[in-house]
Structure 1
Amino acid sequence: MKPPAVVAALEEALRQLGVRVRRERGPFRGGLCVVEGEPVLVLNRQHPAEAQVAVLAAAVREHGGADQLYLRPAVRAALEDAWAQADAGQADEAEQDE
């Protein structure tokens, strides 16, 4: 499945979980936040779809919604790949700090 299709599927999944998704421009990476008590995910529309998948995957993980929804196998695989890459990046950072 191509990254733009994964982005669309993960955006819809977050909406089903009650998270509003906004696309904005600016010097930021994006992520999940709370605005007036409501969860909002902000995506940087200037970033490539692969970077947006990483932000969406982190939001799904943080919101704990992956088990609550049906996700197509290709979308779930992309989600798990993004999580594995994020975990590997955190492990690399921890090694550098030592």
Structure 2
Amino acid sequence: MNISEDIKPISYLKSKTADLLKQVNSTHRPVIITQNGEPKAVLQDHESYEKMRNAIGLLKILSISEKEIKNGSAIDNDKALEKIKDKLT
């Protein structure tokens, strides 16, 4: 991994947008866009972005589940299936 390839100034983005898109889609590594030497944005390929969103969604579900188990509001599978069947009928 060459970090200099993954950090680009906004002027590079403006002049070489197609090249940057090709880079992020082929390497699947995000590129950090800087403005006045400060990181301001991240350019990422769609596939990696979707995988990241899905992973965050799963982590949120796990977090909610852990809280429900800790506070005693979780129910076992049999009761959950019963409730679902009742709602469907």
Q: Normalised by the shorter chain, which TM-score bucket?
A: 0.3 to 0.5
TM-score normalised to structure 2 length: 0.32
Structure with the bigger percentage of helix: 2
Give the number of the structure with larger relative contact order, counting CA–CA contacts within 8 Å between residues 6 or more apart: 1
